[in-house]
Copies of this chain bind each other. A is one copy, B any other.
Amino acid sequence: MQIQRPSSLVDQVSAILRKRILDHDYQPGQRLPSESELAKELKVSRTTVRTVLTKFANEGLVFRKQGDGTYVNKQAKEIDNHYGSSWDFSKLIEGNGYTPSISTISLDSLPATEEDATLLELAPDSEVIHIKRLFSADDEPVIHVTNIFPKSLLNLEVDQIDGNLPIYKIVENYFNQELAYVVSDIQATLAEKNLKQTLFREEGFPLLKLIETFYSHDHKPLILGVSYYDFTKLKLKLVQSWKK
């Protein structure tokens, strides 16, 4: 594998090493070559290698022992695919070993409710777009998502929206903006009648409810998301590592 510039060395080294780990070129539990060796092999500085390994260690992909070495986490594959490792429910489903599919339930332009206007920092009665979609794993519905965003951000007509795009692509393509972070509020709820048809759950069955606000780099709320998540079919897993 040859390093090519441009496109950040860190990103390239990152991609190469991540691939080696996930492909088991470096076996789970095995010790990686030392930082200096990797630097030499990839023809970058040790600092660059360290930047990547530090990132991996934060993600939990590897762990390091001073005076000993850097080891591949046995749970590497699992950790590479938890909630929060991507914006994209499709990827989450895929990473859990299922075939994802998306169907668009509805696409409407409505006046914003007071609450939505507040959350999106809009003038009252601004028009907002509602997209309701259903994510399925192996054709079993697992997540019902409603996304809400100001019509004013759109750079095309509502009916031209491609409902199969992941949320960050919608922002990139139709808003000409970029997502920076999400704040998710996680709640529990009971399946309601209107969800019954879509998630195929009897009324009263417990579901997870995720209330998400997606922000741009300059902290403008761009999109709201309200999702109903069937955790019995798809695990909602978090990985947290210790930070001082």
Q: How many residues of A contact B (CB 8 A)?
A: 49
Q: Do B206 and A189 touch (CB < 8 A)? A: yes
Identical chains in the assembly: 2
Tell which of A122-130, A148-156, A177-185 binds the partner.
Answer: A177-185
Q: Which residues between 201 and 227 of chain A lie within 8 Å of chain B, taking CB atoms?
A: 206-209, 217-219
Question: Which of B190, B206, B236, B242 is close to A181, meaning CB atoms less than 8 Å apart?
Answer: B242
The docked-state distance in angstroms from the alpha carbon of A237 to that of B219 is 17
Q: Which residues of B contact A242 (CB under 8 A)?
A: 87, 168, 178-181
Residues of B within 8 A of A217 (CB): 63, 65
Contacts of A138 in B (CB 8 A): none
Cα-based distance from A60 to B60 in the complex (angstroms): 19
Residues of A within 8 A of B (CB): 11, 14, 29, 55, 58, 60, 63, 65, 73-75, 78-79, 82-84, 87, 168, 178-190, 206-209, 217-219, 231, 235-244
